[in-house]
């Protein structure tokens, strides 16, 4: 393994240069004018997998292609690891806020700035380079490997689940490893113990046949925007809890060890508040900020629209009002059950004089890691050796719905180990990735795969 680490060490300049080529391809999945770039990025990645020594191909889907790389010569007794990542990126807008061009990787202060550097090309490519190092030095890998890189993660991964179902044989594995998240802080590697799920709804309130004049009708009809405000306000109680009957029924309790672990993390609530420029932090009573983020479900309005929203005073009494409302879920909440509970709640509390409709847009299940196996042990040791510090366990407030699908469809355990940092500007202008984490992270992955093969 030390030869492979030496190989990494001496090839880092080339690894970075290759990553920058990858980052120069504007593989924006949301925009149809980049369809050619999507194909170019997929082909580029397949070429690199091939050059590293994997059997690589690009599979078409009804959307953007999926890149598959396989190496299966470790034999049936060696474990198989599926490495999942994505080569598509978020749109870079607003462009004027970038200090250097989004698709021209630029090094500043130990970081590389570029769209996709952290999410997820940079992290995905670290795995490719770790595999290359092992293959270059040993001529073989200690494990069987499947690399699966999709091009639709930023637009909903619509074609990934069917692809996994159709290719279950080729994708069969013991472990799934994903690097698409953060370390807890600079120098503090981490392993995720959970992801939150999501239930995303729209609430539509409809009143009269048309918009009305607020003078000629105001006071005689229920205003849909006022009604919607009442419905939304009623989704929380005065303690910051979600006030929907049955909402907490399936929320799993966490053990004291996990909560103790969270409390021991070096986290400064006041710095978090200041960095967000907020007068106060607010959330469910009885839980700390990190617990609210990782252990507790939420209800947030994502969008509100009604009536006249331009400049000045228009005296319209709108006949429609709409809210996008989403719930972040925790194990073992089910998105479809939560959606059903919320619909029932909204229909029950809707005031007289308007019609209310709840539409279910999107759902994703929460995930909880199995932390007591060989996978996490190997990752912990690998990260400790590479970063000089034992990784912490942390939750993730966001959602990666595919993780539960992988575990269920492939009967595998997932490891989520990320190398980005809080503040890396994912989905925002000036996305960056820490170069030190790129370098050390590749070493950590070499160690991880080495340990899993033992």
Q: Which of residues 360-379 bind a copy of itself (CB under 8 A)?
A: 361-362
Helix (H) or strand (E) holding 383: helix 374-387
Q: Show contacts with a copy of itself in window 413-432 (CB under 8 A).
A: 426-428
Residue of 186, 301, 332, 336 that binds a copy of itself (CB under 8 A): 301
Residue 198 makes contact with a copy of itself by CB under 8 A: yes
Q: How far apart are CA 433 and CA 126, in angstroms?
A: 12
Site residues (CB under 8 A) for a copy of itself, limited to 213-242: 213-223, 225-226, 228-236
Residue whose pair of structure tokens reads 């170019």 in the numeric block: 40
Residue 289 tokens read as 């900020």
Q: Which of 36, 286, 303, 373 binds a copy of itself (CB under 8 A)?
A: 303
**Site map (CB under 8 A) of a copy of itself, residues 86-125, x = contact:** ----------------------------------------
Beta bridge partners of 324: 202, 303
Interhelix angle 224-233/335-349, nearest 10 degrees: 130
Residue (169 or 276) nearer to a copy of itself, CB: 276
Q: Are 197 and 297 in contact (CB under 8 A)?
A: no
Contact with a copy of itself (CB under 8 A) among 53, 207, 331, 453? 207
- Of 95 and 301, the one with the shorter C-beta distance to a copy of itself is 301
Please pick, from the candidates 314, 348, 370, 454, the single residue that binds a copy of itself as defined by CB under 8 A.
314
Q: How far is the CB of 345 from a copy of itself (least distance, A)?
A: 15
Burial (Cβ within 10 Å: 0-12, 13-18, ≥19) of residue 443:
buried
Q: Of 36, 353, 373, 388, which one interacts with a copy of itself (CB under 8 A)?
A: 353
Residues 123-182 that bind a copy of itself (CB under 8 A): none
To the nearest whole angstrom, how small is the minimum distance from the Cβ of residue 216 to a copy of itself? 5
For residues 260-279, which are near a copy of itself according to CB under 8 A? 272, 275-279
Of 450, 445, 449, 344, the residue nearest 123 (C-alpha): 445
By C-beta, is 20 or 217 nearer to a copy of itself?
A: 217
10 Å Cβ neighbour count for 228? 27
Instruction: Give the number of other CB atoms < 10 A from CB of residue 156.
Output: 14
Shortest gap between Cβ of 209 and a copy of itself (angstroms)?
4
For the chain, what's the residue count?
454
Single residue of 127, 328, 365, 440 touching a copy of itself by CB under 8 A? 328
- Choose the stretch contacting a copy of itself; rule: CB under 8 A; options: 70-78, 186-194, 205-213, 245-253: 205-213
Helix 121-138 to helix 2-24 angle (10° resolution) is 140
Helix (H, G, I), strand (E, B) or coil at 356: strand
> What does residue 371 show for φ and ψ, rounded to 5 degrees?
-95, 0
Contact region with a copy of itself (CB under 8 A), list: 59-67, 72-80, 161-169, 396-404 = 396-404
Which of 256-264, 315-323, 378-386, 430-438 is the region at the interface with a copy of itself (rule: CB under 8 A)? 315-323
Q: Tell the residue number behind the tokens 């006030």, with chain if given.
A: 243
User: Site for a copy of itself (CB under 8 A): which residue of 324, 340, 368, 374?
Assistant: 324
The alpha carbon of 253 is separated from its chain's Cα centroid by a whole number of angstroms, namely 23
Q: What is the DSSP string of 4-66?
A: HHHHHHHHHHHHHHHHHHHHHS--BTT-GGGHHHHHHHHHHHHHHHHHHT-EEEEE--SSS-E
**9-17, 64-72, 256-264, 286-294 -> range binding a copy of itself (CB under 8 A):** 286-294
Distance from C-alpha of 426 to C-alpha of 99, rounded to nearest angstrom: 15
Could you tell me how many residues of this chain bind a copy of itself (CB under 8 A)? 85
Question: What's the token pair of residue 247?
Answer: 């909402």
């Amino acid at each position: 393994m030390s030869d492979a680490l030496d190989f990494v060490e001496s090839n880092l300049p080339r690894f970075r240069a290759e990553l920058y080529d990858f980052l120069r391809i504007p593989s924006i999945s949301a925009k149809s004018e980049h369809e050619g770039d999507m194909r170019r990025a997929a082909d580029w990645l397949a070429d690199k997998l091939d050059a590293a020594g994997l059997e690589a191909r690009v599979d078409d889907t009804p959307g953007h292609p999926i890149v598959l790389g396989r190496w299966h010569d470790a034999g049936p007794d060696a474990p198989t690891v599926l490495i999942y990542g994505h080569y598509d990126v978020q749109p870079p807008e607003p462009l004027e806020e970038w200090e250097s061009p989004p698709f021209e990787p630029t090094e500043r202060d130990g970081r590389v700035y570029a769209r996709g550097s952290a999410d997820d090309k940079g992290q995905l490519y670290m795995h490719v380079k770790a595999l290359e190092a092992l293959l270059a030095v040993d001529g073989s890998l200690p494990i069987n490997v499947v690399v699966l890189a999709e091009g639709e993660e930023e637009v909903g991964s619509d074609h990934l689940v069917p692809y996994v179902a159709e290719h279950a044989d080729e994708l069969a594995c013991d472990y799934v490893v994903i690097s698409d998240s953060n370390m807890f802080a600079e120098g503090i590697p981490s392993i995720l113990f959970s992801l939150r799920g999501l239930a995303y709804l729209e609430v539509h309130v409809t009143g009269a046949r048309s918009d009305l004049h607020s003078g000629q009708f105001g006071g005689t009809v229920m205003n849909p925007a006022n009604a919607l405000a009442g419905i939304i306000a009623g989704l929380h109680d005065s303690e910051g809890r979600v006030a929907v009957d049955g909402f907490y029924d399936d929320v799993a309790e966490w053990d004291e060890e996990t909560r103790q672990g969270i409390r021991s993390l070096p986290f400064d609530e006041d710095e978090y508040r200041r960095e967000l420029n907020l007068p106060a932090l607010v959330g469910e009573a009885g839980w700390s900020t990190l617990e609210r983020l990782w252990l507790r479900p939420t209800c947030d309005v994502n969008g509100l629209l009604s009536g006249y929203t331009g400049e000045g005073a228009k005296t319209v009494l709108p006949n429609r009002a709409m809210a996008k409302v989403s719930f972040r879920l925790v194990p073992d909440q089910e998105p479809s059950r939560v959606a059903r509970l919320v619909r029932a709640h909204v229909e029950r509390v809707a005031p007289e004089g308007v019609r209310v409709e709840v539409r279910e847009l999107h759902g994703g299940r929460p995930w909880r890691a199995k932390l007591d196996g060989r996978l996490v042990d190997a990752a912990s040791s690998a990260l400790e050796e590479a970063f000089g510090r034992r990784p912490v366990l942390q939750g993730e407030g966001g959602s990666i719905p595919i993780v539960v699908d992988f575990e269920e469809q492939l009967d595998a355990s997932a490891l989520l180990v990320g190398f980005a940092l809080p503040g890396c500007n994912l989905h925002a202008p000036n996305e960056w990735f820490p170069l030190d984490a790129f370098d050390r992270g590749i070493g950590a992955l070499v160690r991880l795969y080495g340990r899993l093969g033992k």
